[in-house]
């Protein structure tokens, strides 16, 4: 039996043996005697009784073991023309001092801290400082608007918020602080303390008594030591889009997370201590949490903080420049970034300008890797291009080509096979396992491996309803797809109203909730349509209230503005149209899935419960008029 098969089999048949062994690579204060606590399904807890500190594992232990002078973080910011290196020893000092600063503000174990920052190393320092003192961080992506931040403040109930005065996004300078002030003002939950990193190109106004300057706070702080926490204590909450306007607060605990990420760095990414790993994402997403900050640092590798874009900062050679300059071994990004590069530099001429002989593999995730992009990247880079599939909920890959164990042949369009720890199956809507090559619901048989979501923060009911109820005994991924005769998994897309725009996970439901507040709109639906660059884009279909006689173009402009202001520019909501009515079931449920199929040119079955089938013809015509399907 091949290595990966043997390892996979053990992980499923003897998970406790498998994960007890993986836990040996983590430093514990107290080892857990119970590797898996399965006494309260569907809540499975890993390493109960064990105590550790995630920051110690990501920082201090490497200094103690002789890596103090190795680069921990390389900050490469073409938008501010800065490149700096932070060694593990320097990182330890900075994190300990910021942790001391947080303590001086009254933050202690179990408190929640929101971090709303651009791609600067201080974002990682703030995260690690929270972990150091047992506080729970919740990083919010800097592209979200004030009201989205306010929703998260209300739910996470943080004692403090850490932010920066602003960011440079491509060529635009964005002031963060006015937006943060607005969010704090809007939120019912009142934040007591705010720490602000002043950046040279934009200055933030401070609120006396509430706001502290990052540098001043650190200058007067005493370094804080790592505190032991339970393996099952929360490390962070990361909000992700669900089907409604209320995001889901994925709760990750400390022990399983450290073990799984450390294991994945070698098994999936083939990264050892001392290697340079680059994840071109953002700390606001799960990729940033797992593979900019925690994974590489726990492993003792060097991680790159890149504050720039794949194109335009300054050109489509940016990625190759970074790889060459910092001797990057592997890069992880979203296919959309490669589509953007391909559009600007179709023949890959920029690649030839740099020595990228250090580069061993490209990893892509966050959305489906289309075969065109796969072939383009493979042909030009001449290194393995590895698609892997996962979700904010799982925190690390469910399906991947585990190159660090055994590299399998790639099948374009498939992220390869289930990763050890994940018993992936495809079920029909009645919960029966389907045969090979048959599409259905992709699920994972419980228990999920360590490092996956422990629950939804302050909402166990939603955790059970969203993931554990449709198929009892399985985790419902909400992705559809099939497994072929060789065990390769093909992920075809979301079965719910979550869309992926430029690798950013967004809720069409949240956009609908915004549009529904427009005074002239009776009802609306937002659907995901295919886009050559960004994968998907939202398109709104709305019905005006009867008697409303308005210039439709004006209404459309108002909707774009509303979504931008209330969700953020990243929603990329630019297109909408007025329709006479929306297709519904007899019980009044809008048939979004059917409209999605029409917009993407997929065959669909006429829903037996449809109220009036003629409406589908009208919608087909409307979408055709808008240019959908695109091909």
Q: Which residues bind ligand COA (CB under 6 A)?
A: 142-143, 167, 169-170, 174, 280-282, 285, 287, 309-311, 333-334, 336-337, 340, 366, 502-503, 569-570, 572
- Which of positions 224-253 make contact with ligand AMP (CB under 6 A)? 240
Q: Residue 262 to residues 25, 58, 270, 293: CA-CA distances in angstroms?
A: 8, 10, 11, 12
Smallest distance, Å, CB 179 to ligand COA? 9
DSSP state string for 52-63: E-HHIIIIIHHI
User: Are the C-beta atoms of 554 and 576 separated by less than 8 Å?
Assistant: no
Residue 505 touches which of ligand COA, ligand AMP, none (Cβ within 5-8 Å per kind): ligand AMP
Residue 451 touches which of ligand COA, ligand AMP, none (Cβ within 5-8 Å per kind): none
Quick one: 199 or 309, whose CB is closer to ligand COA?
A: 309
CA dihedral 594, 600, 603, 604 (to 10 degrees): -10
Smallest distance, Å, CB 354 to ligand COA? 19
Smallest distance, Å, CB 258 to ligand AMP? 20
Residue 107 binding ligand AMP, by CB under 6 A: no
Residue 335 touches which of ligand AMP, ligand COA, none (Cβ within 5-8 Å per kind): none
Total residues interacting with ligand AMP, rule: CB under 6 A: 19
Tokens of 411: 């099948």
The residue among 295, 254, 296, 28 whose CA lies nearest residue 134 is 254
Smallest distance, Å, CB 403 to ligand AMP? 15
Rounded CA separation 477/468 (Å): 10
Tokens of 51: 């105590």
Smallest distance, Å, CB 202 to ligand COA? 13
Residue 295 touches which of ligand COA, ligand AMP, none (Cβ within 5-8 Å per kind): none
Quick one: 233 or 367, whose CB is closer to ligand AMP?
A: 367
Tokens of 69: 């002078």
Residue 466 binding ligand AMP, by CB under 6 A: no
User: Which strands, in side-by-side order, build the sheet including 136-139?
Assistant: 211-213, 193-197, 160-164, 112-116, 136-139, 234-240, 248-253, 455-456
User: Are the C-beta atoms of 106 and 113 separated by less than 8 Å?
Assistant: no
Residue 391 touches which of ligand AMP, ligand COA, none (Cβ within 5-8 Å per kind): ligand AMP
Q: Interface mask (CB under 6 A) for ligand AMP, residues 497-536, using x and -?
A: ---x----x-------------------------------
Residue 572 touches which of ligand AMP, ligand COA, none (Cβ within 5-8 Å per kind): ligand COA
Residue 334 touches which of ligand AMP, ligand COA, none (Cβ within 5-8 Å per kind): ligand COA
Q: Please, which residues have CB within 8 angstroms of residue 231's CB and are 6 or more apart in sequence?
A: 32, 46, 47, 48, 49, 50, 51, 52, 253, 254, 255, 256
Among 90, 479, 497, 530, binds ligand AMP (CB under 6 A): 479
Buried b (16+ CB within 10 A) or exposed e, 48-62: bbbbbbbbbbbbbbb
Smallest distance, Å, CB 80 to ligand COA? 14
What DSSP character marks residue 257? Answer: H
Residue 324 binding ligand AMP, by CB under 6 A: no
- Which of positions 348-377 make contact with ligand AMP (CB under 6 A)? 365-369
Question: With the C-alpha atoms ordered 128, 134, 135, 136, is the resulting torsion angle positive or negative?
Answer: positive
Rounded CA separation 211/206 (Å): 6
Residue 122 touches which of ligand COA, ligand AMP, none (Cβ within 5-8 Å per kind): none
Smallest distance, Å, CB 134 to ligand COA? 28
Residue 488 touches which of ligand COA, ligand AMP, none (Cβ within 5-8 Å per kind): none
Quick one: 62 or 417, whose CB is closer to ligand AMP?
A: 417
3-state DSSP call for residue 529? Answer: strand
Residue 389 touches which of ligand AMP, ligand COA, none (Cβ within 5-8 Å per kind): ligand AMP
User: Are the C-beta atoms of 390 and 396 separated by less than 8 Å?
Assistant: yes
The residue among 157, 151, 159, 216 whose CA lies nearest residue 192 is 159
Smallest distance, Å, CB 590 to ligand AMP? 21
Smallest distance, Å, CB 599 to ligand AMP? 17
Among 286, 351, 448, 598, binds ligand AMP (CB under 6 A): 286
> Based on C-alpha coordinates, what's the Rg of the chain?
24
Rounded CA separation 111/99 (Å): 13
Q: Please, which residues have CB within 8 angstroms of residue 225's CB and are 6 or more apart in sequence?
A: 96, 132
Rounded CA separation 32/28 (Å): 9
Quick one: 6 or 561, whose CB is closer to ligand COA?
A: 561
User: Are the C-beta atoms of 100 and 109 separated by less than 8 Å?
Assistant: no
Backbone dihedral region of 85: left (phi > 0), alpha (psi from -120 to 50 degrees) or beta? beta
Rounded CA separation 78/326 (Å): 14
Quick one: 426 or 555, whose CB is closer to ligand AMP?
A: 426
Smallest distance, Å, CB 567 to ligand COA? 10
Residue 217 touches which of ligand COA, ligand AMP, none (Cβ within 5-8 Å per kind): none
Smallest distance, Å, CB 333 to ligand AMP? 12
User: Are the C-beta atoms of 381 and 333 separated by less than 8 Å?
Assistant: no
Smallest distance, Å, CB 336 to ligand COA? 4
Smallest distance, Å, CB 151 to ligand AMP? 17
The 3-state secondary structure of 554-599 reads HHHHHHHHHHHHHCCHHHCCCEEEECCCCCEECCCCECHHHHHHHH
Quick one: 170 or 473, whose CB is closer to ligand COA?
A: 170
Q: CA angle, 499 as apex, 542 and 626 as ends, to 5°?
A: 45
Among 257, 494, 584, 596, binds ligand AMP (CB under 6 A): 494
Q: Interface mask (CB under 6 A) for ligand AMP, residues 381-420, using x and -?
A: ------xxxxxx----------------------x-----
Smallest distance, Å, CB 306 to ligand AMP? 19
| Residues contributing to the site for ligand AMP (CB under 6 A) | 240, 286, 365-369, 387-392, 415, 479, 491, 494, 500, 505
């Amino acid at each position: 039996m091949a290595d990966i098969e043997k390892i996979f089999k053990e992980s499923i048949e003897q998970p406790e043996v498998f994960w007890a062994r993986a836990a040996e690579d983590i430093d514990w204060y107290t080892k857990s005697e119970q590797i898996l606590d399965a006494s309260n399904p569907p809540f499975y807890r890993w390493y109960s009784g064990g105590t550790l500190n995630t920051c110690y594992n990501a920082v201090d232990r490497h200094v103690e073991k002789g890596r103090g002078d190795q680069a921990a973080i390389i900050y490469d910011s073409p938008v501010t023309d800065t490149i700096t290196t932070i060694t593990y020893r320097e990182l330890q000092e900075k994190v300990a001092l910021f942790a001391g600063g947080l303590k001086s503000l009254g933050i202690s174990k179990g408190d929640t801290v929101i971090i709303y920052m651009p791609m600067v190393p201080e974002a990682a320092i703030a995260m690690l400082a929270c972990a150091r003192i047992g506080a729970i961080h919740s990083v919010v992506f800097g592209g979200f608007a004030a009201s989205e931040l306010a929703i998260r403040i209300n739910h996470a109930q943080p004692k403090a918020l850490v932010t920066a005065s602003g960011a440079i996004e491509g060529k635009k300078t964005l002031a963060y602080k006015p937006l943060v002030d607005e969010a704090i003002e809007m939120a019912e939950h009142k934040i007591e303390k705010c720490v602000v990193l002043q950046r040279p190109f934009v200055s933030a106004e401070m609120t006396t008594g509430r706001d502290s300057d990052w540098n001043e706070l650190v200058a007067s702080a005493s370094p804080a030591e790592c505190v032991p926490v339970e393996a099952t204590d929360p490390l962070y909450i990361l909000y992700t889009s669900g089907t409604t306007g209320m995001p889901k607060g994925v709760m990750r605990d400390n022990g399983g997370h450290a073990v799984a990420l450390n294991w994945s760095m070698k098994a999936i990414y083939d990264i050892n201590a001392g290697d340079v790993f680059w994840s071109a994402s953002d700390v606001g997403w799960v990729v940033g949490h797992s593979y900019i900050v925690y994974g590489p640092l726990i492993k003792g590798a060097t991680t790159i903080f890149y504050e720039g874009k794949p194109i335009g900062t300054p050109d489509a050679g940016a990625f190759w420049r970074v790889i060459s300059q910092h001797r990057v071994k592997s890069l992880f990004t979203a296919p959309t970034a490669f589509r953007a590069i391909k559009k600007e530099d179709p023949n890959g001429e920029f690649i030839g300008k740099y020595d990228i002989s250090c580069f061993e593999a490209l990893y892509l995730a966050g959305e489906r890797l289309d075969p065109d992009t796969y072939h383009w990247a493979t042909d030009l880079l001449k290194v393995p291009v590895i698609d892997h599939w996962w979700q904010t909920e799982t925190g690390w890959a469910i399906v991947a080509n585990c190159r660090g164990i055994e590299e399998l042949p790639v099948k374009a369009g498939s992220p390869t096979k289930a990763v050890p720890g994940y018993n992936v199956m495809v079920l029909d809507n009645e919960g029966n396992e389907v045969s090979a090559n048959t599409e259905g619901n992709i699920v994972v048989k419980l228990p999920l491996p360590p490092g996956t979501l422990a629950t939804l923060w302050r909402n166990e009911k939603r955790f059970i309803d969203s993931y554990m109820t449709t198929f009892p005994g399985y985790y419902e991924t909400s992705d559809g797809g099939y497994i072929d005769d060789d065990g390769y998994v093909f992920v075809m897309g979301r079965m719910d109203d979550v869309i992926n725009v430029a690798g950013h996970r967004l809720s069409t439901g949240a956009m609908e909730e915004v549009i529904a507040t427009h005074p002239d709109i009776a009802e609306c639906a937002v659907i995901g349509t295919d886009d050559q660059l960004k994968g998907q884009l939202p398109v709104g279909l709305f019905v005006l209230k009867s008697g409303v006689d308005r210039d439709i173009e004006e209404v459309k402009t108002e909707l774009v503005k509303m979504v931008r202001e209330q969700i953020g520019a990243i929603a990329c909501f630019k297109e909408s149209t007025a329709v006479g009515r929306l297709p519904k079931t007899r019980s009044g449920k809008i048939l979004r899935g059917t409209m999605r199929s029409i917009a993407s040119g997929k065959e669909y079955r006429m829903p037996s419960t449809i109220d009036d089938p003629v409406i589908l013809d009208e919608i087909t015509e409307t979408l055709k008029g808008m240019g959908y399907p695109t091909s």
